[in-house]
Amino acid sequence: MSDRIPLPYSPKVLELFRNPKNMGRLKDANTQAMAGSLACGDMISIYLKIDDESHLIEDASFESYGCAANIAASSIMTELIKGKSLEYAWNISWKQISNELGGLPVVKYHCGVLAVGALRRAIRTYFKEKKFPNWVPKELTPDEKHALEEEKLIEVLSKKMDKTKKPKIDFNYRSK
C-alpha cells in the first residue's frame, strides 16, 4: 500500500481533471502561447481564436503537461473566457480560478498562476503585430514572469541542474 498522502483536491478539481473541457490544439487559433513553471518544470499551451473586429474570444483551448490542478485550472479558465472580451480575459486572476474550482491546495497555487500566465502571454502575443491597448501594461506582469517560455524554462532548469551536479573527479590528476 502507498504511504503517500493524497492532496486535498476539491470535487470540482477532480471532476475537471477526469473530464477536462477544451483540451487539445485549436486548429484555427489566431494566437497561442506556451509557458512553463519554474516551480515544477511543467508546460502548458493556450490557444485562442479571437474576432479581430470585436476582440471577443470565439474559442479557447489548452494542452497541459502538468498536474491535476493545472488541467482543472486550464479547463475552467478556458470556459470562463469563451465569448468574453480580451480585456475580461486579461483581468482573470489565479485566485478567481482557484475560487471557481472550490479552492486549490496551497502547494498547487502555482499551477493556477501558470494557466493565467500562459493566457496573458497569448493575449500579449496577439497584440504584438497590432497596437497594444492601454490595459496591457508594457512590463510583464508577475503571472507572465512566472510562466516562462519553453526555451527560457529549459535554460533555467539546466542551469539549476548544473549547480546540483557533484564536482567532476579528474582521474588523470597526479599529485607532484
Q: Which residues are catalytic?
A: 40, 111
Give dist(CA 151, CA 32) in Å, integer.
16
Kindly state the DSSP code that residue 167 receives in the 8-state scheme: P
Reading phi first (left if > 0) and then psi (alpha if -120 to 50, else beta), residue 103 is in left
Give dist(CA 113, CA 96) in Å, integer.
11
109-128 vs 68-81: helix crossing angle, rounded to 10: 40
What is the closest distance, in whole angstroms, from the C-beta atom of residue 83 to ligand FES in the complex?
26
Rounded to the nearest angstrom, the gap between the alpha carbon of residue 24 and the centroid of all alpha carbons in its chain is 14
What is the closest distance, in whole angstroms, from the C-beta atom of residue 82 to ligand FES in the complex?
22
Q: Cell numbers of 176, please?
A: 607532484
Give dist(CA 129, CA 19) in Å, integer.
36
What is the closest distance, in whole angstroms, from the C-beta atom of residue 65 to ligand FES in the complex?
8
Contact footprint for ligand FES (CB under 6 A): 37, 40, 42, 66-67, 69-70, 108, 111, 114
What is the closest distance, in whole angstroms, from the C-beta atom of residue 32 to ligand FES in the complex?
18
Q: Which is nearer to ligand FES, 39 or 56 (CB)?
A: 39
Q: Which is nearer to ligand FES, 55 or 108 (CB)?
A: 108
